[in-house]
Structure 1
Amino acid sequence: MRKPIFAFLLAAILTLAPVAAQSGTDWITGLPRQDIPVSSWPGGKKVAVAFVLYVEVWGHGHGPNFRPDMTGRTPDLVDEGFRQYAINFGLPRTGRLFKEMGVPLSLALNAEFPEAQPETWKALRALVPTAPIIAHGLNNSTDLLPLSEGPAAQRAYIRKTLDMIEASTGVRSIGW
């Protein structure tokens, strides 16, 4: 009985606490952060909801492990099967659902996806043709943002990602 009461009190305290942006220095980049004051919110609303669908590709054997008991197997056919099912059926299904509901959707896109999965990309894009494309790296496993190589290498990686997305989709990504 104590746990539900404690959880309720904790939730009540957290909802009453003021929400503040993080000022100071970003712990990863070392760049300064500063508050962005908002004098008025559109329509008096203070909550925004954004749906982002991650459209990702992984190097073979490098994706998420859905079955930890299978991770020692080579090849890991179970997890590879789950990942491929998500690409072939999950992405188009999600696009259809958002289209049917008339809900806006943004696509966080790996730059390698449109060329690696052209049919799935065409089907998904046809379902949500106006969805903003947000760059999400080259892929999610074997070619990541080179955080340890310094800003010049990171800028080159970001430029390459943006250029690849634009070349394969005809759209320049509007975010990262």
Structure 2
Amino acid sequence: MRRSIFLYLFIFAALIALITYINGRNYQEVLEKDLISLRKKYIAQEQELDSIEDSQMLQPLSFTLEQHQEAADYFNKLGWTVEEVKQNVTDQLLELNLTEGGNPLVPFIGQGRGFQVNDTRFINHKWVLVNFSDNYQWGELLVTYTIKDDKTINLETTASVLNEKYR
């Protein structure tokens, strides 16, 4: 009798272990299928995002001096090339950085060394976007430049914005 009870207990434990193994295996297969489908969706989304980024990178900026034919014609009438104008305006903007207290085109008071022009982006034959900073704050200017008959360039601040660094 004792022997048959142990035999039944052993068979019962073996059946429980077999059922647990089969259920665990089925659960693992379902999880693997879900994981594979999620990976496929993720890869498809990444490819879609990459294609969107690539198409956006291939589109040229619409506001650049190099692609502005009317600006090139305007400069040619004055006896200048686009590159000469860009170089002269940029040089003049950077030269103004040497002024004590910072660049006078920046209508803000900077901390320490004053505001200095860092970067420029030419929009057309009259406007240039200027990035400036004093190591604590930064901002942008819209500078209007005009070329006079005596081949001098006049710079004037049209609009400005100042941002503070987040600490």
TM-score (norm 2): 0.22
Highest CA radius of gyration, 1 or 2? 2
Bigger relative contact order, structure 1 or 2 (CA pairs below 8 A, ≥6 apart): 1
Output the TM-score relative to the length of structure 1: 0.21
In terms of fraction of residues, the more strand-rich structure is: 2
